[in-house]
Structure 1
Amino acid sequence: MRRVAGPTAHQKRARIHQTPGPRWFSPDRPVRTVHADASMYIGGLAALLLQSLHPVAMAAVWAHSGFRGDPWGRLQRTSTFLAETTFATAQDAERAVERVRGVHARVTGTTSDGVAYRASDPSLLAWVHIAETYCFLEAYQRYGRGVLTSLQQDGYVEDMASVARRLGIVDPPMTVAALVASLSSRRGELAPTEESSATAQYLLAAPPLPRPARLPYALLAAAAVDLLPPWAREHLALPMRTRLLLRVARPGGLAVTSAIRWVIPPLPSRTGQRRAPGGRSGM
C-alpha cells in the first residue's frame, strides 16, 4: 500500500474517504465497487503494460512522467487521482482533474521517429482511458470480491466516461460493447518499441521491491499479463519467469488478492456522503 499510495497512504485514505461533502458518485455506483477492490493491483499493472504498446503515448510517458527516475512516484500520483475522482468530495475531484489537465497542457515533444505529440491530444487521452477502463473491469470480473452483472458492467464504463469527459476525452465509450470495439479499433496503432520492452522488463523482471514482496508481486504480474488480450501479449517482451508463472496466473492472482484484502483494512465509513448535483445516481 505504501508503494502504490505513498508513505502517507493511511492519512491520504482518511482524507479522501472521511472528509464530508457531496461526491461525484453515490456509494452504490459500480466504479466505487471496482476501485475499492484489491483486484485493482492486477488491473493497474495490466493497464500500464497495455498502454505501453502505443508508441506515441509511451514516448510521452517515457520522456515526461518521471517513470524511469521515480516509477513509484508516478504510480502514487495515478492512484491518488483515481481515488480522488472516485471517492473524494466533488471539490477535491474537480481539483484533481484540473491538476492533471494542467500537466497535460505542458507536455509536448517528438518521438524518436519524428512524430510530434502533445499529452492533451484527445486521441492519446482516449487510448489511456480505454486501456485503464478495460483492464480495471476485466481484473474485477476475474479477481474481484464479486462479479458485476451486465448492467453493472455498462454502469462502470459509463462512470469512467464521466471522468474521461472532464479530462477532455471526446465521446468515450459508454457500454462494454463500445469499450471492446474501441480497444479493437486501436490495434493498428500499437507496436512493440524499445520503450515498451524496457517498461515490460522493469515491471515484470526487475521491479524495485524488497525481497519478501517479490514472489507475491511476480504472481500479480503474471495475472496482469494473463488478463491482456492474446494479441497484446504477443507484443510484450515477457521475461522467462513471467512466462512460466502464466501457468498458475489465475490461482496465483486469486491467492494474492485475497491476502491483500486480509492485510489492508477496509475502507473508512461512507456515512454522510451524498451525490454531488449532476453526479451519477445509484443504479
Structure 2
Amino acid sequence: MRNVLREWRAELKQTFTGTRDAVPDWVGRLEEGDDTGYHLPGSAVWAVHGSMTTIVAGIRALLMQALHPGALAGVYDHSRFREDPLGRLAGTIRWIFTVSYGSTAAAREASAWVLRLHESVRGKYVDGHGVVRSYSANDPELLRWVHIAFTDAFLAAHKIWGGPIPGGPDAYVREWAQAGRLMGVDSPPLSEAEMRQQLDRWYDDGDLRSDERVAEMVAFIRNPPLHPSLRRGYRMLFAAAVSSLEPKYRDMLGLQPPRLGPFPLPVRLGTKVTLGVVHLALGRVGPSEQAARQRLRRLGFAA
C-alpha cells in the first residue's frame, strides 16, 4: 500500500510540475530576490492559489479559453498539447506560482519569458461572425481574454470548494490584476462585477465560437493521457469544472451537468473528497509557498 501511495504521489508531482521526485529548479529560485514580491501571506492571491481548488480552476479555464477562436487557434496551431500536454500545464503552473510567490524581478522575468514564447504564435482564424482574422498570441484582446478566463475560473472554483478569501472576491480580482498587467493587459478588471461584465461582453457580442475544433479540444480535456492511477480522480475534477460553468458557456461547449443515470452526480461532495486526498498526498503547504516564506524570512518579514 505504501508503494502504491508513493507511486501515486510521484505521478501527481509529474503531472503538476513536470518532475516525479525532485522539486523543480524554478521553485527553489523563488527563495531568491530582494523584495517581498507583488503578493504576501494573508493576501487573497495566496489564499486562492495556495488551495487545491486551483486544480479544478485549471480545467475550467482551459474549457473557457477554447471558446475564443483566436485563443484556440494559437493553442491548436502552435502548441504541442497533443504530444506534451503535461509540459504545457507545467509551464502555466510555473508562471502562475512565480507571479504569486516570487520577487517582483522573478515575476517580471517569468512574464517576459511567456511573452517571448508568444512572439512566434501568429496565424489566422474565423471569428464568431464568420470573418477571417489575423491573430498574434500577444494581441492585447487575446491576452485580456486569457487573463479574465483564468481569473474567473480560479475565483469560481474557490468560491465553491475553497475557504474564506481575505478581502473577499473583489480583493482577489484586484490583486491578480497585476498578473494581467505583467502580461500586457491594459486596465484589467478590478472587481468581480467588472470582470463578469467584461467576460460576458464577448458572449453578448457573438465573438465566441463553437465548432469542431472546440469539440476536439473539449474531448482532449475530458480524457487527457494521464497515468491510470489518476484517471478516476480526474473524472471527478472534470465533472467539477463542468458543473461550475455558467449554463450558457456549458451549452456552447456541448457539455451537460454530470449525472448518475437520472440523478445529478454529487459533484460538490465528491470533489471535496478528491481534493482532500490530493492535498494529503502533496502536503499541506506547497513548495512554492515554502520557498517564498524562506525569502520573506531572510528579508526580515514575518512569514
TM-score when scaled to structure 2? Answer: 0.83
Which residue among 198, 201, 214 is the counterpart of 1:196? 214
Report the CA distance between 1:237 and its aligned residue: 3.2
Q: Does the aligned pair in 2 maintain the 1:16–1:84 contact within 8 Å?
A: no
Matched, 1:15 2:28: yes
Q: Does the aligned pair in 2 maintain the 1:54–1:191 contact within 8 Å?
A: yes
Q: Distance in 1 between matches of 2:266 and 2:226?
A: 22
Change over 3 Å in CA distance of 1:256–1:2 after alignment to 2: same
Report the CA distance between 1:102 and its aligned residue: 1.2
Q: Unaligned 5+ residue runs, structure 2?
A: 1-12
- The residue identity in structure 1 corresponding to 2:183 is L
Question: What is the CA deviation profile of residues 128-158 of structure 1, one whole-angstrom value per residue up to 9, with x for unaligned ones?
Answer: 11110001011111111x1226x33111111
Q: Does the aligned pair in 1 maintain the 2:66–2:217 contact within 8 Å?
A: yes
Structure of higher CA gyration radius: 2
Report the CA distance between 1:198 and its aligned residue: 0.8
Runs of 4+ off more than 4 Å: 242-246
Question: What is the CA deviation profile of residues 107-139 of structure 1, one whole-angstrom value per residue up to 9, with x for unaligned ones?
Answer: 110126632111111111101111100010111
Q: Distance in 2 between matches of 1:194 and 1:127?
A: 21
Q: Unaligned 5+ residue runs, structure 1?
A: 277-283
Change over 3 Å in CA distance of 1:211–1:48 after alignment to 2: same
Q: Does the aligned pair in 1 maintain the 2:17–2:24 contact within 8 Å?
A: no
Q: Distance in 1 between matches of 2:259 and 2:122?
A: 36
Q: Does the aligned pair in 1 maintain the 2:165–2:172 contact within 8 Å?
A: no
Match in the other structure for 1:141: 159
Q: Distance in 2 between matches of 1:107 and 1:210?
A: 30
Change over 3 Å in CA distance of 1:7–1:136 after alignment to 2: same
Change over 3 Å in CA distance of 1:127–1:244 after alignment to 2: farther
Match in the other structure for 1:3: 15
Matched, 1:66 2:83: no
Change over 3 Å in CA distance of 1:46–1:16 after alignment to 2: farther
Q: Does the aligned pair in 1 maintain the 2:174–2:190 contact within 8 Å?
A: yes
Deviates more, 1:97-106 or 1:110-119: 110-119
Query: What SS class does the counterpart of residue 69 from structure 1 fall into?
Result: coil
Q: Distance in 2 between matches of 1:62 and 1:197?
A: 12
Q: Distance in 2 between matches of 1:244 and 1:74?
A: 32
Match in the other structure for 2:245: 228
Computed over aligned residues only, the root mean square deviation of the Cα atoms, in angstroms, reads: 2.2
Matched, 1:80 2:98: no
Match in the other structure for 1:279: none
Match in the other structure for 2:280: 262
Report the CA distance between 1:16 and its aligned residue: 4.7
Report the CA distance between 1:225 and its aligned residue: 0.6
Which residue among 180, 190, 205 is the counterpart of 1:174? 190
Q: Does the aligned pair in 1 maintain the 2:33–2:105 contact within 8 Å?
A: no
Question: What is the CA deviation profile of residues 179-234 of structure 1, one whole-angstrom value per residue up to 9, with x for unaligned ones?
Answer: 11111111121121222111111111x21112221111100000011111110110
Q: Does the aligned pair in 2 maintain the 1:201–1:239 contact within 8 Å?
A: no
Q: Distance in 1 between matches of 2:281 and 2:26?
A: 15
Percent of aligned pairs with the same residue?
Answer: 31
TM-score when scaled to structure 1? Answer: 0.88
Report the CA distance between 1:53 and its aligned residue: 0.8
Which residue among 38, 59, 75 is the counterpart of 1:24? 38
Matched, 1:41 2:55: yes
Report the CA distance between 1:243 and its aligned residue: 5.2
Report the CA distance between 1:71 and its aligned residue: 1.2
Report the CA distance between 1:41 and its aligned residue: 0.3
Matched, 1:154 2:170: yes
> How many residues are treated as equivalent by the alignment?
271
Report the CA distance between 1:78 and its aligned residue: 0.5
